[in-house]
Amino acid sequence: MKKFVKSLAVVLVAISTVGCCSEKQCGEVCSKEEAVYEVIMTRRSIRDYKEEPVCREQMAKILEAGIYAPSAINMQPWAVRVVDNKEFIDGVTAIAVASNPKIAEQPGFRNLFRNAPTVAFIACPEESYSGEYDCGLLSQNMMLSAWSMGIGSCCLGSVVPVMNMEEAKPYMERLQLPEGYKLLVGIAFGYPAQDAPAAPERDASKAFYVE
């Protein structure tokens, strides 16, 4: 009983301390909340990049933010492979264009990855019941952290069928994915070549309280 009373006292002191935070502390918390909200609300899918690859120090932070995403029972089922090798990107692009020449007719076309100089390939176990959801959380963490550093991104499901083609097998092997893993998505990263377009309206009616 004495232990319980002592523990309760500690909790009450902690609560009172939080409740009596200074104006400065409250301001700092609000500022952080606004910063996170601002990143979420201003992020855009970027489809035009400068040719310069993303700085590897910045990419390391983006990867760190990604792997700190939540996952079912903390299994961390993802496998992430980053490519900033122009030869690799151009090689995969050539395979895609050979199978569908119309791709190269897009204005300003340079590569399959929306002209991005850096690409992250995300994979998960084929048999995982939650791997795809977990990798979705990882991907969003990566894209949001990138945007906070002025780095654009674009989630690309269309690269998966290309990477799964027989002609692309040498490139898939270079990713060194673990046995039994499947490629889910590619994420383009790069420094935006122009300002992002305004965000289209969202349908707020799709999210509501249930009484």
Contacts of 192 (CB under 8 A, 6+ apart): 46, 48, 49, 50, 150, 152
Domain assignment of residue 195, yes or no: no
Cβ proximity of 188 and 49 under 8 Å: yes
Cβ proximity of 95 and 172 under 8 Å: no
Domain assignment of residue 185, yes or no: yes
Q: What is the pLDDT of residue 28?
A: 62
Interval 75-111: pLDDT, tens: 999 999 999 999 999 999 999 999 999 999 998 899 9
* pLDDT range class, residue 25, cuts 50, 70, 90: low
Domains in the chain: how many in total? 2
- What would the DSSP string read from start to end of 127-159? T-SSHHHHHHHHHHHHHHHHHHTT-EEEEETTH
Cα 64 to Cα 52: distance, rounded to the nearest angstrom: 21
Stated pTM of the model: 0.84
Proportion of the chain above pLDDT 70, given as a percent = 86
Domain range enclosing 160: 56-190
Domain identity same for 30 and 66: no
Domain assignment of residue 167, yes or no: yes
3-class DSSP state of 104? helix
Domain identity same for 19 and 115: no
Could you count the other beta carbons within 10 Å of the beta carbon of residue 161?
A: 12
